[in-house]
Amino acid sequence: MTDFDRTILIVEDDELLRDAFKLLLEDAGYQVIEAGSAGEALHLVTGRLPSLVVLDLGLPDRSGLDVVREMRKDPDLKDTPVIALTGRVGERERRACIDAGCDRYLAKPVAPTDLLRELPILLAR
């Protein structure tokens, strides 16, 4: 796996939580880029083409599901794995994530071991 294969975009509007995810992922050997809004995420994802996106669904400017839908329209991003993070749990939310194009759905608060377990599986595809 090259360094490029290990670049993860974290999209989270809560700066403290975003910093915690960044530290966790960097300690696990991943390169991390960060966004605090949907607009920033769409700008970064098209410019940097990360290997995977960890995406909060409750963003201040647009839904994280909108971000995924936009990504899936772009030929360069249509296969980029996306892990959705949300405080809303339930079958309706899970189905909305899958329908929008998310590869995984994790409920907040996310256990670090759960997130770290998903990354190599999705990056190996």
The predicted model gives 32-37 an average pLDDT of 97
Arithmetic mean of pLDDT, 13-40: 97
What are the two backbone dihedrals, phi and then psi, of residue 52, each rounded to the nearest 5 degrees? -160, 150
Q: What is the pTM of this model?
A: 0.93
Mean pLDDT of 7-11: 97
Q: Which domains does the chain have, with CATH numbers?
A: 4-123 (3.40.50.2300)
At residue 1, the pLDDT reads 42
Q: Which candidate, 38, 116, 36, 42, places its Cα nearest to that of 83?
A: 116
Q: Tell me what percent of the residues of the chain surpass a pLDDT of 70.
A: 97
Q: How far apart are CA 54 and CA 76, in angstroms?
A: 17
Query: In the beta sheet, which residues pair with residue 10?
Result: 34, 54
Confidence at 69, pLDDT banded by 50, 70, 90: very high
